[in-house]
Amino acid sequence: MAKKPVGRPRGGDGATLDRGEIILDVSEGLFARHGYDGVTLRAIARAACVDVALINYYFGPKQQLFDTVFQRRARILNDDRLRALAAALAECQPAPVERIIEAYLRPLEMAQESEDDGWRNYCALLAYVNNSSVWGPVLMNRHFDAPMEQFVDALAAALPRARRADLYWCYQFMSGAMSLTFANTGRIDTMSGGLCRADDFRTAYDRMIPFVAAGFERVCGPL
């Protein structure tokens, strides 16, 4: 199982960097709740109790700040995923499909179960970005595609008859399941009449992992 993500990313120590982290934390929460267009640098400055000029000094214009906010926890998730994949491959090569999928998905469960509000904000931000035709092709590609290719390679080894195109289609479908899960909309609570809870992340990922693995094996496995 992947290591639980740390509560709060840090770039170093000292008062200056602490103020930078406060700006990033506040920005993360506001972007998660209101999206990119619903947040101004002035709103961030008021919430962080700093001058707008200080935000520009540390992070540049709003688009650059948004990228920095998105990147800092992406690095942690990518590291956790790649460690889990390396552990699965160390046990067996090729690794079983379900172990590969678990290495990819379980760190998201750890993030959602974190007591740090920042990780919950980041999961909401991931859902927003991953479903955006504007930001998805930019930020997801920039910060998640390179590690994702290592998982696709591992899946190709586990499913040697798979067409590369089918692996990417299955990844697309997995990405949709991920987005709905970490969006935590609560819809399943109403739909199931209380039988299921969107914030029951352990149950959600325990079911999503074999569900996704079966889809890969059905679409990409031997004919």
Cα angle 184-85-142, degrees, rounded to a multiple of 5 = 65
108 lies in a domain? yes
Percentage of the chain lying above the pLDDT 70 cut? 91
Residues in the chain: 223
212 lies in a domain? yes
170 lies in a domain? yes
Tokens 């690794």, residue located: 95
CATH for 112: 1.10.357.10
Domain that holds residue 83: 70-220
Is residue 170 within 8 A of residue 220, CB to CB? The reply is yes
57 lies in a domain? no
**Structural domain count of the chain:** 1
Entry pTM: 0.87
pLDDT in tens, 173-216: 999 999 999 888 999 999 999 999 999 999 999 999 999 999 99
pLDDT in tens, 137-174: 999 999 999 999 999 999 999 999 999 999 999 999 99
45 lies in a domain? no
